[in-house]
Amino acid sequence: MDGSTASASQLYNVSRGQIEHYNMSIGLRLIWLNNCLAFMFGIYSSLTIFQSATPYWHVKAQMLSVIIPYIGVAVSLFTLMDVVMGIVRMSKVLKHYNDEGNQEMLGIPMLDGTATDRFFQRLSPVAQSIFFLVVWLYLLLYDKHIF
């Protein structure tokens, strides 16, 4: 194995490992977002549908029904920012990989698919985060009687 093949192989392994790390990080953020928002949607719907037994609990339920949409917006926004930053970091790793070596000349495989593959890989996490953000903003504005 000559030096250029060894360095190309090392470049591939390191870049592939970094991209897998960012992909896993985004996946874990989305799992956390889904679990967190499922819990908050359940609590929010319970608070808005069911009547409290006493006036004391009614006040507490009203406070929570006002606070939970703000928390949902914050969680969705922070997750969206984290997902976008992960995508930016993956793009930088891929750019560095493509700048360092010519895959055809060195005989190393393509990293992270074609541009179309990458577009669809990155569309879902961003769209999911934006969807949850829009839903919570809608609920917040609906509660304020803007909609």
Residue ranges of domains in the chain: 3-143
More confident residue, 132 or 62: 132
Q: What's the pLDDT score for residue 13?
A: 85
More confident residue, 68 or 51: 68
pLDDT tens digits for 8-47?
778 888 888 998 999 999 999 999 999 999 999 999 988 8
Altogether, the residues listed in the chain come to a count of 147
pLDDT tens digits for 52-102?
778 888 888 888 888 999 999 999 999 999 999 999 998 888 888 877 665
Q: How far apart are CA 74 and CA 68, in angstroms?
A: 10
Q: What's the pLDDT score for residue 78?
A: 95
DSSP 8-state class, residue 145: T
CA distance readout (Å), 130 to 45, 84, 141: 21, 11, 16
DSSP 8-state class, residue 107: T
Is the pLDDT score of 134 beyond 80? yes
SS3 category, 144: coil
- What is the mean predicted confidence (pLDDT) over 3-10? 67
More confident residue, 105 or 135: 135
More confident residue, 35 or 48: 35
